[in-house]
Amino acid sequence: MKGFLTAFSLECKKIFSSKGFWIFAVVILILCLIVTATFRTLGEMLEGMDESVITGSTTDATPAQLAEAYREQLAQYREAVANGDVEVKWYDTTETRYKNMIAIYEYCDQHNLNPSKLTYIGSVSSLRMSSADYVTTMSQITFAFATIMAIVLAARTFAGEIDDGTMRMQLTRPVKRSVLLTAKHTSVFAAAMTVGVVFTVLFMIIGAIFFNASTYDVILVDAYQNVSVINPYAAILLSLLFSAVIVEVVIQFTLFIGTFVSKTGALAIPLVLYLFADTVAQLLYSTGLPWVGLFTNLSWISGLTPSGAPLKGMSIYTMMAITTVWYALFTTVNYIAFEKRDLK
Amino acid sequence: MEDFSEIGTTSQLSEVFGEEFADAQVKAKTSSVPETEERVFQPFLEVNGVSKVFRKGLSRFTGKGNGVVALDNVSLTVGKGEIFGVLGPNGAGKSTLIKVITGLVIPDEGEVALEGLHFRRDKEKFMSKVGAQIETPVFFNKQSGWWNLKYLADLQGGLPEQRIKDIVEIVGLSGRIKSRVGTYSMGMRQRLGIAQAIMHKPQLLVLDEPINGLDPDGIAQVRDLIRQLRDDYGTTVLFSSHILGEMQTLCDRVAFLSKGRLVAVKTKNEIERGTGDTCILSVVCDEPNRAATLIQQKFGYRTKVQGMTLYVEVKGGNTAEINKTLIENSISVVSFNVKTRTLEELYKELTR
């Protein structure tokens, strides 16, 4: 354990003493502040405007009435499917969506909640942002950049150090390879999370000062119509947790790629996949290639919204299982391959 | 030109290594023997039946399939306090052997042990006794020399700052230690490489081509440093070099590698005596062809006649007997020269 802590602190020292890290962090901050200024300006423009005009929601119906309306729509949909008027693919998102909406309105009815005062996780309740909406949005933007930063750092600290020979120098010290690999991995994770969490806290402060304090509770619904409502700040924490999972998996994947290719490949492949794989997978998936779902989908958070995961018909639990299997594979290969690897 | 005038003075080394190495120092001094006598060493580093094939693709990890044979069943023992050289042409397997010893290359077969500590089982204990500089020293170029040494010292488990300062002074880098390594010359990198290898007072110092890129003064200073570490502090040194003269001057024994195989291990005396029991005899006489026939018949040695000169490759024999035979057979000998092989000739022959 002592060996790991020493190696970990040295790796952190290496990252935090590099100019690249700070430049990246400052760039993220500047971009986020530009977005902040835009939101603030938008908020001022919408000041005094009626909420229903902003959201487009004009219904005065009760949750029970809305649930009943969705039940009717579901029945009509099923009838259309039975008559062959609607073509159903191997997955049926429409049915899931109707069921989720019914479950949400029934929940609101049972718990005396106003559905127009609720929002979904990862989304904003109104264009006139509340502080929670602002923090949620900025946290997502920050973590998207922090994940890119994690890819760059992981490629540099593993494949990069093997390429330039500095790994050789480190391995002639009395430290186990597995310990060094773990230290490198965790230090990159710590660096990316530091940026993500510190900035999120900063945005919470900015949000409290410059944005509307009234917040909406967040409703969660899974593919099996289990519904719960949580505080918006608890939702931000949940969102942070899911972001941490993405960062962790992406780091492990970058190290995995670095086991087989040089630094350039270890940087480019994860970066391209992170930026484009989800979109490509969604396209392939919706055009009838369900197996694509096995290769991507880290957006767990979307599995808790009524419309469900981007890869339709897949529950959050399926996404978690797929991610876990891939993560275990990457981890196992990384450790075994690094133990057996020759450093010429 | 690199200025190595400050490298490794006795007093500086004593300050740094003195106390903890007292035992080793006494042992080394007690066992010191005149240069002409063979030193006797206790086994320290043992390399047993090490083989390595470099493969490509996934075969790297499976250890199966064809590839380039880098080491083929190499076994050798290095004694405690010995300076042991590894010699061989490019691609002979020198660096691979050194990387196997330092754990950078995983052998397909065989194992390496240091005073009973097996690398595979006791890597941390094993490596805590080893200091290594492998090929061209590589550091974090954007960081200073000091930062790099401190980083490696911490990875080693922590060293007093004063020790690092002393080592920096010993290798003559005090003036530039706070500069970025990226601005260092090759010689300065070598000095920094040696500093990181010796700063934790290793019992085994492994140096791969440590004098590459150094000017003659630098080479002499590194040579003195190696010798001093061994003579005064009992450090065992294993190093490879292409410079044969260095090997001959510095090493107690030299291992010759060729195409991944260990072809010979020669002691310093064997090298100095003419590298063992083979010599070339050149005889100028009146009947070189008859003399050649006589020698071939009686001794079975290979001969070659060029003009009036007869060359004889004498193996383990007494050259006086040959002279006597020629005289007994009424052959007039004008000159009789024994030429032992130089290390270079031996190197060429063994690594051919």
Q: In Å, how far is B139's CA from the nearest CA of chain A?
A: 6
Contact B99 A343 (CB under 8 A): yes
Q: How many other β-carbons are positioned within 10 Å of the β-carbon of residue B298?
A: 12
SS3 A161: helix
User: Which is more confidently placed, B319 or A30?
Assistant: A30
> Which residues does chain A have within 8 Å of residue B157's beta carbon, measured at their own beta carbons?
6, 174
Residue with tokens 């390496």: B112
Q: How confident is the model at residue A11 (pLDDT cuts 50, 70, 90)?
A: very high
Crossing angle (nearest 10°) for helices A232-260 and A131-155: 10
* Residue A34 touches partner B, C-beta closer than 8 Å: no
Of B61, B124, B157, the CB nearest to A176: B124
**By mean pLDDT, which of A82-91, A145-154, B253-262, B285-294 is the weakest?**
A82-91
Ordered DSSP codes for A274-319: IIIIHHHHHHHHHTT-GGGGGT----GGGGGSTT--SSTT--HHHH
Residue A57 pLDDT > 70: no
Residue with tokens 């119509």: A225
Q: How confident is the model at residue A310 (pLDDT cuts 50, 70, 90)?
A: low
CA distance A319 to A249: 13
- B152-167 residue pLDDT tens: 999 888 888 998 998 8
Highest mean pLDDT: which of B142-151, B211-220, B270-279?
Answer: B142-151
Contact B155 A7 (CB under 8 A): yes
pTM over 0.95, yes/no? no
Residue with tokens 């993220």: A28
For A77-84, which contacts have Cβ atoms below 8 Å and span 24 or more sequence positions? none
Residue in chain B closest to A11 (alpha carbons) equals B151
Residue in chain B closest to A172 (alpha carbons) equals B102
Tell me the H-state helices in chain B. Answer: 10-17, 22-30, 59-62, 94-101, 123-128, 145-155, 161-170, 186-198, 216-233, 244-250, 268-272, 288-299, 319-328, 343-350
CATH architecture of the domain B278-350 equals 2-Layer Sandwich (3.30)
Residues A132/A239, Cβ–Cβ less than 8 Å: no
> Which residues does chain B have within 8 Å of residue A169's beta carbon, measured at their own beta carbons?
134, 137-139, 152, 196
Contact B154 A169 (CB under 8 A): no
Q: How many other β-carbons are positioned within 10 Å of the β-carbon of residue A59?
A: 11
Q: How confident is the model at residue B10 (pLDDT cuts 50, 70, 90)?
A: very low
Average pLDDT, chain A: 84
Class in CATH terms, B10-272? alpha beta
Q: How confident is the model at residue B218 (pLDDT cuts 50, 70, 90)?
A: confident
- B288-346 residue pLDDT tens: 999 999 888 888 888 888 888 888 887 766 777 888 888 888 888 888 887 766 666 66
Contact B130 A168 (CB under 8 A): no
Ordered DSSP codes for B134-152: -SS----TTSBHHHHHHHH
Residue with tokens 């010993």: B170
Q: In Å, how far is B171's CA from the nearest CA of chain A?
A: 19
Residue A64 pLDDT > 50: yes
Residue B333 host element (H or E): strand B333-340
Please report the ipTM that was assigned to this predicted complex: 0.79
Q: In Å, how far is A269's CA from the nearest CA of chain B?
A: 18
Under 8 Å CB pairs connecting chains A and B tally to: 85
> Which residues does chain B have within 8 Å of residue A14's beta carbon, measured at their own beta carbons?
140, 151
Domain ranges of chain B: 10-272, 278-350
pLDDT of residue B99: 93
